[in-house]
Amino acid sequence: MKDLKINASEGIEKIDYFLFDMDGTLYLGNDRLEGALELIELLKSQGKRSFYITNNSSKVPEEYVKKLGGMGIAAAVDDFFTSADAIVYMLNKIRPGAKLYVVGTPGFENYMVRNGFELVKGYTQDPALVPDFVVLGFDTTLTYDKLRIMCDYLVDGVRYVATHPDMVCPAEGHRSVPDAGSFMLLIEGATGRRPELIAGKPNPTMINILCEKLGCPKDKVAVVGDRLNTDIMSGINAGCKTVCVLTGETDVALLRKSDVRPDYIFESVNDIYKALRG
Please write the tens of the pLDDT for every residue from 26-52. 999 889 999 999 999 999 999 999 999
Q: Of 163, 198, 233, at which residue does a domain stop?
A: 198
**Domain check: are 191 and 227 in the same one?**
no
Q: Of 151, 177, 198, at which residue does a domain stop?
A: 198
Picking from 24, 28, 68, the residue whose alpha carbon sits closest to that of residue 172 is 28
**Domain check: are 113 and 183 in the same one?**
yes
**Domain check: are 208 and 194 in the same one?**
no
Q: Is residue 2 predicted with pLDDT exceeding 90?
A: no
Q: What is the CATH number of the domain that holds 143?
A: 3.40.50.1000
**Domain check: are 225 and 259 in the same one?**
yes
What is the total count of domains within the chain?
Answer: 2
Residue 78 lies in a domain: no
Please write the tens of the pLDDT for every residue from 183-199. 999 999 999 999 999 99
Q: Is residue 1 predicted with pLDDT exceeding 70?
A: no
**pTM higher than 0.95, yes or no?**
no
Per-residue model confidence (pLDDT) at position 107: 92
Please write the tens of the pLDDT for every residue from 124-144. 999 999 999 999 999 999 999
Mean pLDDT, the chain, rounded, equals 94
**Domain check: are 194 and 148 in the same one?**
yes
**Domain check: are 99 and 151 in the same one?**
yes
Per-residue model confidence (pLDDT) at position 169: 84
Q: Of 158, 177, 198, at which residue does a domain stop?
A: 198
Q: How confident is the model at residue 226 (pLDDT cuts 50, 70, 90)?
A: very high
**Domain check: are 222 and 136 in the same one?**
no
**Domain check: are 138 and 91 in the same one?**
yes
**Domain check: are 146 and 219 in the same one?**
no
**Span of 92-106, 123-137, 162-176 with lowest mean pLDDT:** 162-176
DSSP H stretches of helix in the chain: 36-45, 61-70, 83-94, 106-114, 144-156, 180-191, 205-214, 233-238, 252-257, 269-277
**Domain check: are 99 and 115 in the same one?**
yes
**Domain check: are 183 and 216 in the same one?**
no
- Domain of residue 112 covers 85-198
Picking from 229, 152, 166, 159, the residue whose alpha carbon sits closest to that of residue 196 is 159
